[in-house]
């Protein structure tokens, strides 16, 4: 019996009960649809989000401090705690030494000052950050649009971040903001009010200081940018250092009698040339007694989470598929009861047990193929819709729209193949049962 004959006989049999066949195939489609979309989600999330992270240089940056440090990855807040054992000071010579390391692309002190900024009658409390010229070729400053990076360390300008503009609710076209003045209001000591500390009013002796700078560019950062770059406004280091601001940490150090103990800088940002170099550099810095934080450390955790996500999703899809297998077994067993006499006739005409089995295997395979194709189609549609919803909800989290579902041809091919295989496996018992039908009994039963 040729394969074309078996396919013809099997499809004829299925056509006879088209509604039941369609329902069974639909069951398979639900299983395959959920399985394929879930695998594609797992694959999409792990591949595309990791890619996004890598494109953001998020894994090549690390922050070092002379104090012990912890990091809350979700709020991007650096929590510094005074650890008496970590007292290696951070100075210009330390940075110079780090810059001489082959693996290091750049290193600079993180100078961050709290400020209120005013633009077009709107204001927001944020941080101003000193970014050296060398950062011009690094993410996120590769994504300045409109405008450009500053050309000198003392240029009186700022680079705005898109996130800050969004927070301020500025809807003006970004092109028109280039060259506009921005007010930066910082808090400074007011020596005239120093007696307030001891007075009954218990007010701090501070006053506002206003600096006006021009907007040079707007950087398209997202919430998912690395560390210090995801928020605030960016200034040339010299310009930043001219803006007066109270450094409360230094105040605390003076109060605690630890002035100068931690060096000139609180934290230093380091960029390694590639991700593989991150760990050796981190270990080297830790050996020197610095506290180092890197989100790259979290990559393995991310991978574990993605793996878990994949597994959980595959399990859910598999459960749906197992249920559909029962549907196939049920359909085929029903077919055996209905076609008992027909099987008897076939055997009386010389059909072998193997030929009868093959007819049932192919019936299951056709159901599996139909269900697989339909399931993959449904999975693709559902994943496209879900991807759109996810992007609309998490749009500003990444630089661009993320393909949360990676519906590759491999997934399509293997989902359909898997569907056919599982269906054929499900048909083994019914097919065996059918092949063992005694023709004499089957014809007598009439």
Partner 1 sequence: MALIQVEKLSKTYKKGDNKIYALRNINFDIQEGEYVSIVGKSGSGKSTLLNLLGGMDTSAEGGVYYNGKNLLTMNEKDLSYHRKFTVGMIFQSFNLIPSRTAIDNVKLPLIFSNYPVMLRETRACELLYNMGLYNRALHYPSELSGGEAQRVAIARALANKPKVILADEPTGNLDTATSAEIIGLLKMFNEKHNITIIMVTHDKETAYKVSHKTILLSDGEIIKITSNQNK
Binding stretches for partner 1 (CB under 8 A): 1-2, 4-5, 9, 12, 16, 341-342, 345-353, 355, 439-440, 443, 446
Among residues 244, 144, 242, the alpha carbon closest in space to that of 186 is found at 244
Exposed e or buried b per residue across 132-156, where buried means at least 16 C-beta atoms within 10 angstroms of its C-beta: bbebeebbbbebbeebebbeebebb
107 or 356: whose CB is closer to partner 1? 356
Closest separation in Å from C-beta 427 to partner 1:
20
**Closer to partner 1 at the Cβ: 2 or 85?**
2
For residue 417, what are its two tokens?
A: 């193949």
Of 133 and 443, nearer to partner 1 (C-beta) is 443
Cβ proximity to partner 1: between 273 and 341 the closer is 341
Comparing CB distances to partner 1, the nearer of 16 and 51 is: 16
Beta strands per DSSP E along 23-91: 61-65, 68-72, 77-81
Q: Please tell me the distance from the alpha carbon of residue 424 to that of residue 426, in angstroms, as a whole number.
A: 5
Cα separation, 111 vs 252, in Å, equals: 17
- Cα gap 428→430, rounded to integer Å: 6
CB of 350 to partner 1, least distance (A): 3
Which C-beta is closer to partner 1: that of 12 or that of 97? 12
* Smallest separation, CB 19 to partner 1 (Å): 15
> Shortest gap between Cβ of 347 and partner 1 (angstroms)?
7
Query: CB of 442 within 8 A of CB of 340?
Result: yes
CA dihedral 24, 28, 33, 39 (to 10 degrees): 170
Which residue lies nearer to partner 1 by CB, 176 or 352? 352
234 close to 216: Cβ distance less than 8 angstroms: no
In whole angstroms, the minimum distance from the beta carbon of 441 to partner 1 comes to 10
Tell me how far, at minimum, the Cβ of 439 lies from partner 1, in Å.
Answer: 6
- DSSP-assigned letters across all residues of 383-419: HHHHHHHHHHHHGGGSSS---S----HHHHHHHHHHH
For residue 157, the cross-strand partners are 214
> Please, which residue, 337 or 409, has the CB nearer to partner 1?
337
| Half-sphere exposure in the Cβ direction for 139 (13 Å, CA) | 21
Least distance from C-beta 370 to partner 1, angstroms?
20
**Residue 445 Cβ vs partner 1, minimum distance, rounded to whole Å:** 12
């Amino acid at each position: 019996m040729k394969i074309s004959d078996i396919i013809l006989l099997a499809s004829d049999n299925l056509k006879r009960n088209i509604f039941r066949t369609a329902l069974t195939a639909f069951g398979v489609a639900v299983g395959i649809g959920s399985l394929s979309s879930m695998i594609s989600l797992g694959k999409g999330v792990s591949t595309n989000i990791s890619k996004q992270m890598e494109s953001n240089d998020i894994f090549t940056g690390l922050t070092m401090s002379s104090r012990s440090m912890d990091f809350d990855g979700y709020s991007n807040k650096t929590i510094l705690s005074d650890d008496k054992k970590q007292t290696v000071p951070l100075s210009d010579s330390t940075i110079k030494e780090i810059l001489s390391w082959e693996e290091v692309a750049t290193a600079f002190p993180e100078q961050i000052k709290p400020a209120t900024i005013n633009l077009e009658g709107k204001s927001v409390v944020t941080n101003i950050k000193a970014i050296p010229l060398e950062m011009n070729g690094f993410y996120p400053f590769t994504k300045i649009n409109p405008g450009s990076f500053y050309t000198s360390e003392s240029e009186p300008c700022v680079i705005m971040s898109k996130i800050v503009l969004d927070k301020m609710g500025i809807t003006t076209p970004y092109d028109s903001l280039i060259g506009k003045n921005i007010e930066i209001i910082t808090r400074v000591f007011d020596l005239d009010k120093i007696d307030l500390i001891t007075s009954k009013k218990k007010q701090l002796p501070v006053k506002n200081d206003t600096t006006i700078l021009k907007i040079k560019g707007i950087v398209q950062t997202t919430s998912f940018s690395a560390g210090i770059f995801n928020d605030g406004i960016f200034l040339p280091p010299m310009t930043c250092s001219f803006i007066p601001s109270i450094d409360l940490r230094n105040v605390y150090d003076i109060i605690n009698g630890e002035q100068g103990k931690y060096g000139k800088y609180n934290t230093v940002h380091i960029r390694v040339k590639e991700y593989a170099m991150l760990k050796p550099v981190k270990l080297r810095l830790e050996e020197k007694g610095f506290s180092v934080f890197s989100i790259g450390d979290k990559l393995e955790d991310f991978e574990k989470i993605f793996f878990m996500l994949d597994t959980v999703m595959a399990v859910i899809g598999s459960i749906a598929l197992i249920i559909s297998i029962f549907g196939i077994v049920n359909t085929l067993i029903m077919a055996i009861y209905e076609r008992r006499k027909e099987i008897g006739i076939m055997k009386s005409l010389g059909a072998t047990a193997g030929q009868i089995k093959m007819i049932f295997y192919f019936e299951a395979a056709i159901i599996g193929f139909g269900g697989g194709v339909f399931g993959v189609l449904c999975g693709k549609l559902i994943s496209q819709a879900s991807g759109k919803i996810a992007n609309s909800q998490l749009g500003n989290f990444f630089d661009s729209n993320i393909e949360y579902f990676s519906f590759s041809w491999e997934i399509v091919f293997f989902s359909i193949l898997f569907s056919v295989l599982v269906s054929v496996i499900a048909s083994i018992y019914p097919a065996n049962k059918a092949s063992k039908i005694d023709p004499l009994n089957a014809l007598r039963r009439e």
